[in-house]
Amino acid sequence: MENAPHILVESLSVSVGSTPIVSDISFALPRGQVLALIGESGSGKSTTALALMGWCRHGGRIASGTIRVGGMAIDRKSEDELAALRGRYISYIAQSAAAAFNPSRRIMAQVIEPALIHRIMTRQQAEAKAVDLFRALALPDAETIGDRYPHQVSGGQLQRLMAAMALITDPELVILDEPTTALDVTTQVEVLKCFKTALASVDHGRGATAIYVSHDLAVVAQMADRIAVLHKGRLVEEGPAEQILRAPQDAYTQSLVNAPRPVPAAPSAADAAPVLSVQGLTAGYGKVTDGQPAIPVLRDISFDLPAGGTLGIIGESGSGKSTLARVIAGLLPAAQGQVLLDGAPLPPTLEARSLDQFRAVQLVFQNADTALNPAHSVRRILARPLRHYHGLRGAAADRRVAELLDLTRLPADVIDRPVTKLSGGQKQRVNLARALAAEPRILLCDEVTSALDTVVGAAILSLIEDLRRDLGLATVFISHDIHAVASLCEKVLVLYGGTPVELASREAFNGPEHHPYTRLLLDSLPTMDPSWLGATPAPIHRGEKQAGLCPFLPRCDVAIAGICDHQPAPPKTGDGMRWLCHRGPIKHDKESA
Amino acid sequence: MKQFASLWAKAPAANRIAAAFVGFWLLLALAGPWLAPHPVGAFVDEDVFSGLSARFWLGSDYLGRDVLSRLLYGTRYTVVLGLGAALLASLCGTSIALAASLCGGRVDEVISRLMDTLISIPSKILALVLVAACGSSLPLLLLICALTYVPGNFRIARALAMNLAALDFVAAARARGEGKWAIAWHEVLPNMVHPLLADLGLRFVFVVLLLSGLSFLGLGVQPPYADLGSLVRENISGLTEGAPAILAPALAIALLTVGTNLLIDAMKPEGQ
Amino acid sequence: MVGGMSGSHRQQSLWPLLLRRIGSALVTLIMVSVVIFALAGLLPGDAAQEALGQSATPEQVAALRHEMGLDQPAPVRYAQWLAGMARADAGQSLVAGMPVAEIIAERLPNTLMLAGMTAALAVPLALAMGITAAIRRGSWIDRAINLASLSMVALPEFLVATLGVLLFCVKLMWLPSLAMVSAEATWSETLRSCALPILSLTVVVVAQMARMTRAAIADQLDRPYVEMARLKGASLSRVVLGHVLPNCLGPIVNAMALSLSYLMGGAIIVETIFNFPGLASLMVNAVTSRDMPLLQACAMIFCSAYLLLMLAADMVALIANPRLRAQ
Amino acid sequence: MMDFSRRSLLAGMGAGLMPATAWGAALPKRGGSIRVATQSSSTADTLDPAKGALSTDYVRHFMLYSGLTRIGHDMIAHPALAERIESADRATWHITLRKGVHFHQGGELTSADVVFSLLRHKDPKLGSKMASIAAQFTQVRADGRYGVVIALSGPNADLPAMLAQSHFLILRKGTAKPDGNGTGPFKLAEFKPGIRTVAVRNPDYWVSGKPYLDRIELIAIPDEVSRINALLAGDVQLINAVAPQSTKRVESSPAHVIATTPSALYSNLISRMDRLPSGNPDFIAAMKHLVDRPLIKRALFRGFATIGNDQPIPPFHPYYNPHIPQTTLDLDRARWHINRSGLRGVRLPIYAGPAVEGAVDMASVLQEYGARVGLDLAITRVPADGYWSTHWMRHPLSFGSTNPRPTADLVFSLFYKSDAAWNETGWKNPRFDQLLMAARGEVDENRRRAMYHEMQAIVHDQCGSIIPVFISLIDGLDRRLKGMNPHPMGGLMGYQFAENVWWAA
């Protein structure tokens, strides 16, 4: 029994109606090992993983093939029998804990539910065990966190709470579906560490068998014993992690392993007068009292952007990256400071801006799914700004639309398709094309790649880069993808909690010296090296941040006692960079890739 | 129309039947009066509540009038008033809702109060007063029915608009410098169409119900004409002997309303 | 399901809202009274004429008008009425010659009882229908419920009611055909005599509520947390009852409140058919006899009933949703 | 009818009070309780006879109070609380009250009560329905404990009949707000306006042996179908205003029966004679020939009606003039008159509404035939609510409805006298007015009858009041309810069934 594979999948096909989603998938996994399913979205990796629970989304069904988990023939079981397995022997950790937790029920109730459904413990036992798991998962105040509602805890914590929910029944098999994709790199480190230990501890230390679904090879490298690569619903390669990472056989796998890096951008005329300059910008939500909003989001931001220049803005979620874009675009009036377009101040509110000012500044939204009106066709979406800004109609408009499609490398035949029928990449291109339709001076790109697969994302980035070069657009790049920013942008602005902690030229940023927070970000980027996770220290949390002091203080591991916790961090300038810290720039251990 | 044709092509049988029904009723509403074998008010039968016969296909009513003829006229009234009022209500409700959701603040507050006022006056009593004051006429009936169902539509439309207004593509339009109404028209409204259609179907049913309610209170379509509800009402005493005079209109109402709603359900795109 | 730490959130957020709502409720009430007053102004004739009827002589009318204070200009009369209301005095009925409060007191309990009992029957029924339909989305049961509810709404209520009477009262003689509620009647008697009115009203309101329930639930069924719960091994019904319902309580309760508010003023037809001494027929009566104080009183009651229901609905929605509560 | 000598009084008793027809065959039986449903009731329900407006009020008042006289089945007034009522000149009347009659709440009936009850109608504030008639009372004074003297502005032989109306029922002296304290067959137990009236047997009612029932609950069911259902379901034992279409249903029930009362109730088309074109005699003549009376009787009233002849006195009335030729549907003559009137093709609106029974249908019948003779009648339908105050008599062509009145004189003087408040057609006919006055004072019965015959002829020939049919009143009752004896003054035995019926179960 032990040496027999714990999981055995043979020529599995799942299809919705007659169209196959995945076909002819086969793999085996010994007990206690972790198999990673790698692939782009739509490659069928989640479908395959869920099939192991006998679950198919959107009215799909297991068309053919066999699935064995332990002794159990999943493909033969009835709905009731499957229900008896799910959450008991096989449990699931979903991608977005925020969405997968029921917003209106307390966390504890949801965490222990599997144990209660399958009647394997009493409520008290279950709750006790849950609290133990909370501790094991390094969750703060483990005793009380269960009394909260999902919206009252952070994303990283929720993800770990979901792990507790999955492990409460000591399952034989845990399925992790992109469990850290939605998290910041820093949080990802903690969560990965927790998962690793937790999984290992299951089944009296023998460790649970696990399926880890992800698109990020680096992450997978840390977790998996074996890797299966899926592409367009087919299994292209499967084998030990080492082998797949070191010597991938299949061409597609190779393309994944040495993922395309955006080419370093050509420098723009650096001395050109700033087309956009932001001066002492403070903004936030709620009532503004003498320049301070009730809920401040951004504090004292300043930077210049020359025509055709690029500025990258990085930081964790909640650092105010997107808010900055919204302020520049006029969606959120600034409380203090001003935004200058060609040296002339931009009115803070939309109402006060002129058509030309609107046209000059174009915002490309993060999520193309919500940024494009689902009721419209591509043509209508692109024609709208053409008519609005340039009064183009009929044939003229159509011609321009065609040009835009061509410019953004979209096939001409999408023109009359409803956007809901486009792929993620295509949507993002339309999203981009809409901004370009205005023929803007400044392009604000807000996390334009975050919703996309690496390959597609890279393509979009290089597209933007080309456009920048060809059209001389000044671009502001908001992204959590530090690599991309580092290579694309001439200047990089690092935000922490709305405060600009570092503003560096590309050279300086790619150099070794950084603000401690920047350094933390860089260190948190996983690498292909399987030992990376073990080597990286878990981020620290020390109390709450206090007004007036360095906002990063609670998480800073190089803080100087007696100084950092007494005076506000002073702004300093060095060659090619400006930062906010008592210390000089900190060298960070690894070279930034 | 093209859209409809494609819908027809891929609609399941049930939905085609629904569509066929509605088409049938619309046809009757249009052609009814010409098809009617007897004048709507003429006392053509010596007997009352007579059964199906060659001369009176659907028998005669409580005054010995030809049921078929009255049914044909009644259909016209019900369809015109019902759909008319429902459409009117949705039109007003939705435009007001859009205004409220886009202007927000004071305007929204005031409008909402007005709607509360309207909705909390029992419609039949409103009808009673208006009819007593202005005398019963088709436009008035139309107005009353519409007025009654504006608030309901407003609530739904407003909720929809509010949700949509929070989405990025609306923000995008604002950042583009589009005006309120352009946004309402180009961005918000297109995404409200289908839920509003479903609502329209339900409103239609309610208007039909309200109409028959009004006829019960003697406020509805005035004799000798009658909407389907009034036909049921005036022949109610024939219920004991199960006279076609009452069964026919009752059945007609059920088929008409159910058909309409099935059709509307069918018109939803796969997305929703 | 509420308590512990979130209790405090509730305290903080409910009171101001409550006060705001009461404020706007007052505004609405005043608006309604103005509208009613204006509308009634459109009516031909006045209380004096209607009271004296066909055989009135001009002197009589004049005298009676003066008696009723109808010879004063409308704004004055409205002001007087408003002042009275401020003192919680609904005034004297013009035709019955007794305090409006007394007349209302006679009927309000009946109406409330009828509405209450109907709600007690209709709400669970609607929930059951809606939930079943939602769980069996797309199945024949779903379609059947959909059709049934539609035709339920469409068929004139008087037809439904009359059918009931013919069957249960005339043919089978099980139930009385009149809803003669009286103080001395025992509960069981009252229930028997109100059975048919309740049934008829239920038929009218249940459909809308059921449809809304179904819609609200169906809208949630595609959410990730539902899939998550299913992948914990929970049955669909457990998921719907335990996970989905709390999340769509808001819209459901709202729809219910809307439908139930119909039970007050909308019961006119049922009241007529079963000779039920309720408020709706009283209001009609007040219109035909031009009895302004009575008319206003009824309007006020219906309006406040509606507002209260809405308020209650919002409160429930608030309590059901921890996120809203926290704000 | 000469002055009330004892003989005539006894005769009166006979004709008036003895159950005559099949209904009364069985012997009266005491006890039992019934529920009665009329068609109309509202918060305006009153205990004040003077304000009685609806059938429910009349029934209630006749249960609680008694009048000085009452109309018999012979349409003639017979003494009630008045033992004798005499007059030499028809202008001054001497009433002698019955002795030993007591009010429910104690106290014997005296002349003071009668004087009070009659004089209060002259106070406009009271809003009495009989104000116009009371105006004829120049003086009402007590003449001893049991004597009352009424002086009239002019002679009126019909005073006894007029006093028989429910509005003139007798109250206790000084009653500001009537509370049911009368001398009637039943005492008030419960009264809720618009909801119900409950009355219990008055043990010391002045008519010995009556009433028979212990208890009567009086409610109203406005909806006709519900009213029938309530009867058939056994929830009520007696209802009025059964629609002709519903008689089948009642008759088909073994336990129930209908009671039909041919009455003087009529719905008439009013053609204003003081306006044009409705005043044009040819137009009126044409209209009278356009009325298909048999059709109206058959289709609208399923035969429950008596063909009318455009004058308000029904065939079964003592003063009916049988010699007037019946006007019938005659399109040729109608066409001839229309052409003479020059109204061919002129659009004439007729105001009709549910307030007047059958009005809308009658109008559409007229419309149909009118079209055939080149008359363009346009039916304007108006709601029942407010009809009497806004439409009745206000347009050249509208519909009116007249309830049975106890005497020919009342009908004529209320609706046809030139200066009458509701001279519907607004006609002025000196000869008619003169006859009306003369008839009031006329002593010789034959001459008087002759005068009434001539008045009917004049109205028939010249008045714009078009009366197609007299509508019969239909009650429905439980077979076990005995003693119901249709009364031409109205349904429910002229609203006076209470003391006459008994429960045979």
Task: Test D383 with B43 for CB contact under 8 angstroms.
Answer: no
Q: Pick D235's closest partner by Cβ from C43, C177, C287.
A: C177
How high is the pLDDT of residue A98?
Answer: 83
How high is the pLDDT of residue C324?
Answer: 66
Residue pair A363/A446 in contact by the 8 Å Cβ criterion = yes
**How many domains does chain B fold into?**
1
Residue B7 lies in a domain: no
Domain that holds residue B181: 76-227
Residue A108 lies in a domain: yes
How high is the pLDDT of residue D269?
Answer: 94
**Interatomic CA distance for residues A558 and A580, integer angstroms:** 14
Inform me whether the pLDDT recorded for D34 exceeds 90: yes
**Interatomic CA distance for residues C253 and C317, integer angstroms:** 7
Domain that holds residue C256: 15-44+90-326
Question: Is the ipTM beyond the 0.90 threshold?
Answer: no
Return the CATH number at B139.
Answer: 1.10.3720.10
What is the DSSP annotation of A308-341?
Answer: T-EEEEE--TTSSHHHHHHHHHTSS--SEEEEEE
Average confidence score pLDDT of chain A? 86
Residue B188 lies in a domain: yes
Same-domain pairing of A355 and A248: no
Q: How confident is the model at residue D8 (pLDDT cuts 50, 70, 90)?
A: very low
| Average pLDDT estimate for D131-137 | 86
Inform me whether the pLDDT recorded for A205 exceeds 80: no
Residue A433 lies in a domain: yes
Q: Where is average pLDDT lowest: A268-282, B241-255, C208-222?
A: A268-282
Inform me whether the pLDDT recorded for C236 exceeds 90: no
Residue B212 lies in a domain: yes
pLDDT in tens, B167-201: 889 989 988 888 888 898 889 999 998 889 888 98
Distance from CA of D192 to the nearest CA of C (A): 9
Inform me whether the pLDDT recorded for C259 exceeds 90: no
Q: Pick C272's closest partner by Cβ from D219, D222, D235.
A: D222
Q: How confident is the model at residue B11 (pLDDT cuts 50, 70, 90)?
A: low
**How many domains does chain A fold into?**
3
- Tally Cβ neighbours within 10 Å of residue C147: 14
| Average pLDDT estimate for A184-199 | 86
Task: Test B236 with C272 for CB contact under 8 angstroms.
Answer: no
Residue with the bigger pLDDT between B200 and C50: it is B200
Directed axis angle between helix D445-462 and helix D408-415, to 10°?
40
Please indicate if any CB of chain D lies within 8 Å of the CB of B159.
no
pLDDT in tens, C137-174: 888 898 899 888 888 888 888 898 999 998 998 888 88
Same-domain pairing of A246 and A345: no
Return the CATH number at C307.
Answer: 1.10.3720.10
Same-domain pairing of A316 and A419: yes
Task: Test D422 with C286 for CB contact under 8 angstroms.
Answer: no
Distance from CA of A58 to the nearest CA of C (A): 9
Please indicate if any CB of chain C lies within 8 Å of the CB of B162.
no
Distance from CA of B170 to the nearest CA of A (A): 8
Same-domain pairing of A486 and A521: no
| Average pLDDT estimate for A530-546 | 81
Query: Exposed e or buried b for every residue in D464-498, given b needs 16+ CB within 10 A?
Result: bbbbbbbbbbbbbbbeebbbbbbbbbbbbbbbbbb
Residue pair A277/A305 in contact by the 8 Å Cβ criterion = yes
Chains A, D in contact, 3 or more Cβ pairs below 8 Å? no
Residue A269 lies in a domain: no
Residue C49 lies in a domain: no
Q: How confident is the model at residue D140 (pLDDT cuts 50, 70, 90)?
A: very high
**Which tokens belong to A395?**
């044939």
Q: How confident is the model at residue A592 (pLDDT cuts 50, 70, 90)?
A: very low
Residue B216 lies in a domain: yes
Q: Pick A88's closest partner by Cβ from C230, C233, C321.
A: C233
How high is the pLDDT of residue D20?
Answer: 42
How high is the pLDDT of residue A588?
Answer: 58
Question: What's the whole-model pTM score?
Answer: 0.84
Sign of the CA dihedral running A63, A65, A70, A76:
positive
Average confidence score pLDDT of chain C? 84
| Contact list, D298 vs chain B (CB under 8 Å) | 46
Return the CATH number at A54.
Answer: 3.40.50.300
How high is the pLDDT of residue D396?
Answer: 92
Q: What percent of chain D has pLDDT over 70?
A: 95
How high is the pLDDT of residue B10?
Answer: 64
Which ranges of D416-482 does DSSP label H, i.e. alpha helix? 430-441, 445-462
Residue C168 lies in a domain: yes
Q: Where is average pLDDT lowest: A133-137, C210-214, D124-128?
A: D124-128
Chain A: residue nearest C228 by CA?
A100
**Which tokens belong to B11?**
């609609």
How high is the pLDDT of residue B269?
Answer: 56
Q: What percent of chain D has pLDDT over 90?
A: 55
How high is the pLDDT of residue C146?
Answer: 86
| Contact list, A103 vs chain C (CB under 8 Å) | 225, 247, 321-323
Task: Test D132 with C177 for CB contact under 8 angstroms.
Answer: no
Same-domain pairing of A313 and A338: yes
How high is the pLDDT of residue D211?
Answer: 92
Same-domain pairing of A554 and A417: no
Residue that has been written with the tokens 């009730």 in this structure: A294
| Average pLDDT estimate for B82-94 | 93
Which chains have 3+ CB pairs within 8 A of A? Answer: B, C
pLDDT in tens, D460-492: 999 999 999 999 999 999 999 999 888 888 889
Inform me whether the pLDDT recorded for D25 exceeds 70: no
pLDDT in tens, D263-299: 899 999 999 998 888 889 999 999 999 999 998 998 8
How high is the pLDDT of residue B5?
Answer: 66
Residue C68 lies in a domain: no
**Interatomic CA distance for residues D158 and D104, integer angstroms:** 30
Residue with the bigger pLDDT between C266 and D503: it is D503
Same-domain pairing of A494 and A553: no
| Contact list, B168 vs chain A (CB under 8 Å) | 365-367, 370-371
Nearest to B70 by CA among B249, B267, B200: B249
Q: 3-state secondary structure string, D23-56?
A: HHHCCCCCCCEEEEEECCCCCCCCCCHHHCCCHH
| Contact list, C42 vs chain B (CB under 8 Å) | 129-130, 133-134
How high is the pLDDT of residue C13?
Answer: 59
Torsion-angle region of A68 (φ positive above 0: left; ψ -120 to 50: alpha; else: beta): beta
Inform me whether the pLDDT recorded for D19 exceeds 50: no
Q: What percent of chain A has pLDDT over 70?
A: 95
How high is the pLDDT of residue D61?
Answer: 95
Residue C79 lies in a domain: no
- Chain center to CA of B122: 18
Residue pair B174/B167 in contact by the 8 Å Cβ criterion = no
**Interatomic CA distance for residues A71 and C163, integer angstroms:** 62
**Interatomic CA distance for residues C79 and D264, integer angstroms:** 48
How high is the pLDDT of residue D21?
Answer: 44
Sign of the CA dihedral running B61, B67, B71, B74:
negative
How high is the pLDDT of residue D431?
Answer: 95
Residue that has been written with the tokens 């192991």 in this structure: A52
Please indicate if any CB of chain C lies within 8 Å of the CB of B233.
yes
Residue C288 lies in a domain: yes
The number of C-alpha atoms within 13 Å of B34 and in the hemisphere containing its C-beta is 5
Q: How confident is the model at residue A36 (pLDDT cuts 50, 70, 90)?
A: very high
| Average pLDDT estimate for A403-415 | 89
Chain A: residue nearest B269 by CA?
A375
Same-domain pairing of A495 and A519: no
Q: Where is average pLDDT lowest: A507-511, B11-15, B63-67, D133-137?
A: B11-15
Inform me whether the pLDDT recorded for A140 exceeds 90: no
pLDDT in tens, C88-102: 888 888 887 789 998
Same-domain pairing of A231 and A336: no
Cite the beta strand spans of D288-362 per DSSP E. 305-307, 347-352
Residue B145 lies in a domain: yes
- Tally Cβ neighbours within 10 Å of residue A269: 11
How high is the pLDDT of residue C183?
Answer: 67
**Interatomic CA distance for residues D306 and D265, integer angstroms:** 10
| Average pLDDT estimate for A67-72 | 87
How high is the pLDDT of residue B9?
Answer: 67
How high is the pLDDT of residue B3?
Answer: 58
How high is the pLDDT of residue D449?
Answer: 93
pLDDT in tens, A347-383: 988 888 999 999 999 999 888 888 999 889 999 999 9
Domain that holds residue A542: 511-593
Same-domain pairing of A199 and A57: yes
